[in-house]
């Protein structure tokens, strides 16, 4: 009956020693068949013979058919396996001076059904704790420097990331800048320094070459330019530190002072207050124990109260206030549009899950409202979004897709509740909130104009999808183009640039990533080593994008590219999924400008500008220009 459960398999010390009496299981109804390990079926007759549960595999059967003197195991193999595991775990526990594990204590006292539930909860807790701890552990075996060098990659400059440390004060740091760094090519007993020049820059990371090596790259090395051992030229003189040339080239010059004067005349170095600026840019206003409102990850349509548990590089680990064991958490950046001050939901009419906790816990306090990102003010007095209007939106549950969507509710202060057509829950629990100025919503026709595959409503039969037909069939209108945010900053990203990006479907993870498409301010982010189906559309100013070296600088864990084994295991299944998806949701071909004009249904004529090429679309051109009468 319970054959197949492995909920009691052990990897730590046993819940009971070999001389303990077995735990009796309550008699079952007489008609219930019990399956023993040899396949024979016994029917529990009258409650006198008794039942037993295998303490190794969890199988339930007639006790008389079990093995060992105490009838604790359904087979000889289970008995031997249990004994071997118990001995190893017991010896290890004694050597480490550990008391019996929580799992052992729980399993000792519970009946079978409770055992299974308790053990499953225990395992889930351990997994969540392991995930949480992993967010602060540095990655091993991956080097950005080797990765970039071996593939001749380029990285997005730090100036592309205004929310990141030094993003707004990076200055003129570029190739050719000189710095003073520790001299690792020395046999002196004390720490000495030498001058090096930046050969290549990749985010925060710089490939350095010691002065005097000319074109010799044998001792080139990568380092984080914001590290504590990187100093402007002149720091050694003011700090009384020795400048000693590397041992490999000591013989090249007899007068190193003259050499340095000649080499450094007119050269650039770091600002004298560079390290101070780095330190200041890594001070974060959010503190642990602050209370915020954040999206409920299980019901996107509402928010919940959460408490800041930790802050790493401006990223917040938020624990939902009702989580007693602090495992129900959510990661986001402090500038994320998903978090708000306490009272925000009520102020705009957003759904909110009230906490069962009637008063604040000791030490918890509301985060000041000025700490949160401010949205642009909008004028909703005139023509504005209305319920039922159609648009295109990035699906927050599948960030690789831009979908046909509908405005389901208009909230205060410019906020909109949006649903994905064809996949909405009847109670609206999967609606999501975007601000009217959000770069994640687009007017009807955006995908077609920019040659992006638009995901039609699930189950929609008339393919290829055409907005003209769909609007007529649903008796609805498109949201006016002029209401959308069309600002495109000069962001500086280019196709092929490397960066570190949050996997927004698993937001505790920051991964090695690449920009593969640029549509105005919209970036297509590919996670290196993974299939394209995991790509995500992200705004160029998203606080979930970081320069190369951000994880190393802040102490966050970086997820390296997927290894070859993972790629191989992905390929067959993912290709099948992609093939099926492409057959079902194949986008239609781009229309001519004349066709587009004829099929617009909102009564206004627009001439649409074709999106610039992926390499050149980082300018400030708008998506559309209203045609003058």
181 plus 246 within the same structural domain: yes
333 plus 366 within the same structural domain: yes
547 plus 514 within the same structural domain: yes
User: How would you classify residue 218: left for phi > 0, otherwise alpha for psi between -120 and 50, otherwise beta?
Assistant: alpha
pLDDT in tens, 150-168: 999 999 999 999 999 999 9
Residue reference for tokens 């030094």: 166
Looking at residue 587, what is its pLDDT? 33
Does residue 444 lie in a domain region?
A: yes
265 plus 289 within the same structural domain: no
Token pair for 64: 């008389």
Total domains, the chain: 4
Residue 152 to residue 433: CA distance in whole angstroms: 41
232 plus 291 within the same structural domain: no
Token pair for 417: 């509740």
Q: Which domain holds residue 358?
A: 284-371
237 plus 185 within the same structural domain: yes
> Among the three residues 217, 245, 270, which one is the final residue of a domain in this structure?
270
190 plus 254 within the same structural domain: yes
Residue 488 to residue 539: CA distance in whole angstroms: 10
Is the omega angle on the peptide bond into residue 611 within 30 degrees of 0, that is, cis?
A: no
Looking at residue 429, what is its pLDDT? 87
* End-to-end alpha carbon distance in the chain: 77
265 plus 187 within the same structural domain: yes
Does residue 80 lie in a domain region?
A: no
470 plus 543 within the same structural domain: no
Does residue 549 lie in a domain region?
A: yes
E-strand stretches of 343-389: 351-352, 365-366
Does residue 416 lie in a domain region?
A: yes
> Among the three residues 521, 538, 559, which one is the final residue of a domain in this structure?
559
**Residues forming beta bridges with residue 315, ordered by sequence position:** 312, 333
Contact, 538 vs 192, CB < 8 A? no
Instruction: Give pLDDT < 50 ranges for the chain.
Output: 1-49, 87-88, 90-95, 98, 102-120, 122, 125-126, 129-139, 573-629
Does residue 130 lie in a domain region?
A: no
Nearest to 161 by CA among 620, 402, 452, 515: 515
Looking at residue 170, what is its pLDDT? 94
Burial state string for 443-474 with b = 16 or more CB within 10 A and e = fewer than 16: bbbbbbbbebbbbbbeebeeeebbbbebbeee
CATH of the domain at 508: 2.30.30.140
Does residue 129 lie in a domain region?
A: no
Looking at residue 80, what is its pLDDT? 65
Q: What is the largest CA-CA distance in the chain?
A: 103
CB atoms within 10 A of CB 153: 16
**Residues forming beta bridges with residue 43, ordered by sequence position:** 33
**Which stretches within 497-563 are classed as H helix?**
550-554
Nearest to 162 by CA among 435, 539, 469, 494: 539
Does residue 11 lie in a domain region?
A: no
Exposed, middle or buried: residue 398 (CB in 10 Å: 0-12, 13-18, 19+)? middle
Q: Whole-prediction pTM value? A: 0.71
430 plus 507 within the same structural domain: no
Instruction: Provide CB contacts within 8 A for 533, sequence distance 6+.
Output: 400, 574, 577, 578, 581
Contact, 293 vs 339, CB < 8 A? yes
CB atoms within 10 A of CB 312: 17
Residue 308 to residue 329: CA distance in whole angstroms: 10
Nearest to 96 by CA among 13, 11, 20: 13
> Among the three residues 244, 270, 296, which one is the final residue of a domain in this structure?
270
179 plus 261 within the same structural domain: yes
Does residue 415 lie in a domain region?
A: yes
515 plus 552 within the same structural domain: yes
CB atoms within 10 A of CB 342: 17
């Amino acid at each position: 009956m319970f054959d197949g459960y492995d909920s009691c398999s052990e990897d730590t010390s046993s819940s009971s020693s070999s001389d303990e009496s077995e735990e009796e299981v309550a008699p079952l109804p007489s008609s219930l068949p019990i399956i023993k390990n040899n396949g024979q079926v016994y029917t529990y007759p009258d409650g006198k013979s008794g039942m037993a549960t295998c303490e190794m595999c969890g199988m339930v059967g007639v006790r008389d058919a079990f093995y060992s003197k105490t009838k604790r195991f359904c087979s000889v193999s289970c008995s031997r396996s249990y004994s071997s595991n118990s001995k190893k775990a017991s010896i290890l526990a004694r050597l480490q001076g550990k008391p019996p594990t929580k799992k052992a204590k729980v399993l000792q006292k519970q009946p079978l059904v409770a055992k299974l539930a308790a053990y499953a909860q225990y395992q889930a807790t351990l997994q969540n704790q392991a995930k949480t701890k992993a967010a602060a552990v540095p990655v091993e075996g991956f080097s950005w420097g080797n990765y970039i060098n071996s593939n001749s990659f380029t990285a997005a400059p730090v100036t592309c990331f205004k929310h990141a440390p030094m993003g707004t004060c990076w200055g003129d740091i570029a190739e050719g800048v000189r710095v003073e760094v520790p001299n690792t090519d020395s046999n002196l007993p004390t720490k000495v320094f030498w001058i090096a020049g930046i050969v290549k820059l990749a985010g925060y990371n710089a490939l350095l070459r010691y002065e005097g090596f000319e074109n010799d790259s044998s001792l080139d090395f990568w380092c984080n330019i914001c590290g504590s051992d990187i100093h402007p030229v002149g720091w050694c003189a003011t700090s009384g530190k020795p400048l000693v040339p590397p041992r490999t080239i000591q013989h090249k010059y007899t007068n190193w002072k003259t050499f340095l004067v000649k080499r450094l005349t007119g050269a650039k170095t770091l600002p004298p207050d560079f390290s101070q600026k780095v330190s200041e840019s890594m001070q974060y206003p959010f503190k642990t124990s602050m209370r915020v409102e954040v999206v409920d990850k299980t019901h996107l349509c509402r928010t919940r109260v959460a408490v800041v548990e930790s802050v790493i590089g401006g990223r917040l680990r938020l624990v939902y206030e009702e989580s007693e064991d602090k495992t129900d958490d959510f990661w986001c950046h402090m500038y994320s549009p998903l978090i708000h001050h306490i009272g925000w939901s009520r102020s705009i009419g957003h759904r909110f899950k009230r906490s069962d906790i009637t008063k604040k816990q000791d030490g918890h306090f509301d985060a000041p409202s000025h700490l949160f990102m401010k949205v642009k003010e909008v004028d909703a007095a005139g023509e504005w979004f209305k319920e039922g209007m159609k648009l295109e939106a990035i699906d927050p549950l599948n960030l690789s897709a831009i979908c046909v969507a509908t405005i389901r509710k208009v909230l205060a202060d410019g906020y909109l509740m949006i649903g994905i057509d064809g996949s909405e829950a009847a109670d609206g629990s999967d609606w999501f909130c975007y601000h009217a100025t959000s770069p994640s919503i687009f007017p009807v026709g955006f995908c077609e104009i920019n040659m992006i595959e638009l995901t039609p409503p699930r189950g929609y039969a008339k393919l290829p999808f055409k907005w003209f037909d769909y609007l007529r069939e649903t008796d609805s209108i498109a949201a006016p183009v002029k209401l959308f945010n069309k600002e495109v900053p000069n962001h500086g990203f280019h196709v092929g640039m490397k960066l570190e990006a949050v996997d927004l479907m698993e937001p505790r993870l920051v991964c090695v990533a690449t920009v593969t498409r640029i549509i105005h301010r919209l970036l297509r982010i590919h996670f290196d080593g993974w299939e394209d189906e995991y790509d995500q559309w992200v705004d160029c100013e998203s606080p979930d994008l970081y320069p190369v070296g951000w994880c190393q600088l802040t102490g966050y864990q970086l997820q390296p590219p997927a290894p070859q084994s993972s790629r191989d295991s992905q390929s067959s299944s993912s290709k099948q999924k992609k093939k099926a998806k492409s057959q079902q949701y194949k986008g239609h071909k781009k229309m001519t400008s004349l066709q587009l004009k004829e099929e617009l249904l909102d009564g206004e004529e627009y001439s649409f500008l074709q999106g610039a090429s992926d390499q050149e679309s980082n300018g400030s051109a708008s998506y559309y220009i209203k045609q003058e009468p």
